[in-house]
Amino acid sequence: HRPGSATMRTMKKRLFATTREGEDAFLYTLSNQNGVQADITNYGGAIVNLLLPDRAGKLADVVLGYDTLAGYETDKAYLGAIIGRFANRIAHGRFTLHGVTCTLSRNNGDNSLHGGAIGFNKRLWTAKEISSNGAPALELTYLSPDAEEGYPGNLSARVVYTLTPRNELKIDYSATTDKNTVLNLTNHSYFNLAGQGEGDILGHGVTIHARHFTPVNANLIPTGEIRSVKGTPLDFSRMATIGSRISADDQQLKLAGGYDHNWIPDREGDRALVLAAEVHEPGSGRVLEVFTSQPGVQFYSGNFLDGTIRGKQGKVYQRRYGFCLETQHYADSPNHPDFPSTELQPGQHYRETTVFRFSAR
């Protein structure tokens, strides 16, 4: 790295624990000069802790997670993890690509969810400490073999987490394949900007810069329609608290038990990073802005959390104790030719970026 950058760049590594398979998983700490600290494990690429100042400078950990590696190994809520090969649901665990039908591992009723039974969230990634313009960065790579969970092609995936001096946690995803396949990578962090385990997220104010979303059926599979949010509780074009309309008499909210839908951020260029969403927690003043190159963002209000998870520092995660903004392609895209394509062909480079920018006001 460049001389003089040492003050900006801090990375520490320690043993997290040994996996059930007997391999060492590590915790990498990325920190910057503002006191922001992110602990990331190469097991599932999960963001384990994220310390952020409030408007008075007081730090709190704003992501849900586990104290132990065993927590991540048995996790069913995808806390903090990298999701692959395919974020969200694929109906009937099946799709057809150029006439070839692929059958996936089904782990959500009849659907395949978040990559199948053993997704990228349950893999031990190869980690390398790198730096990007003097900022600490962690490179994670994983080679997913042909037919893993039913997906075709040897897929070489790379995810780089960078903590910038502007209090941004940037996630760069890239991948290549040796056979036609589909791919949809995201990160599944649950945030509570008041502090993890400190109550529900219903008082958080949310803005989503999107005029449309993809309505779902009772299995949370998109119907294929691209629907306007106008006049519905899914309209977050002006900031509204998560709780203000979550119990409204609305068919989409009823089907999902709250918010668990894909919004389509308004964008002009195809690849440019756009500000997809902003969240403000009035008590602490903490703000999260989400920028992404991806065509969709799943806003999930933690409806399936039910108090059965004992998280960090003994905190119990009740319903809606965290929210996710999973930047991604639309659910079930391989079965919807009208949706932006999730196909990846040999010779093509998959590239997506998401930036979580934090501040306080």
Q: Rule CB under 6 A: which residues touch ligand GLA? A: 77-78, 88, 113, 220, 260, 298, 300, 304, 324, 326
Rounded Cα gap, residues 154 and 176, in angstroms: 8
Q: Which of 139, 281, 289, 326 is catalytic?
A: 326
Q: Which of 125, 160, 136 is nearest to 30 (CA)?
A: 136
CA atoms 17, 167, 53, 292: torsion sign: negative
The reply to whether 188 belongs to the active site is yes
In this structure, the number of other CB atoms found within 10 A of the CB of residue 313 comes to 9
The upper half-sphere exposure of residue 242, i.e. CA atoms within 13 Å in the direction of its Cβ, equals: 28
Catalytic residue, chosen from 148, 149, 188, 280, is 188
Task: Output 78 or 350, the one with its CB closest to ligand GLA.
Answer: 78
DSSP string, 227-274: EE-TTSTT--SS-EEGGGSTTSS-HHHHHHTS-EEEEEE--SSSSS-E
Residues 75 and 66 sit within 8 Å (Cβ to Cβ): yes
* Identity of the residue, 119 or 136, whose beta carbon is nearer to ligand GLA in the bound complex: 119
284 near 51, Cβ under 8 Å? no
Nearest distance, CB of residue 78 and ligand GLA, angstroms: 5
- Report the residue number, 60 or 182, with the smaller CB distance to ligand GLA: 182
In the complex, what is the shortest distance from the CB of residue 38 to ligand GLA, in angstroms, rounded to a whole number?
21
**C-beta of 304: minimal distance to ligand GLA in Å?**
4
- For ligand GLA, which is the closer residue by CB, 29 or 298? 298
- Tell me the C-alpha distance between 222 and 291, whole Å: 23
CB of 95 to ligand GLA, least distance (A): 18
Residues tagged active-site: 188, 326
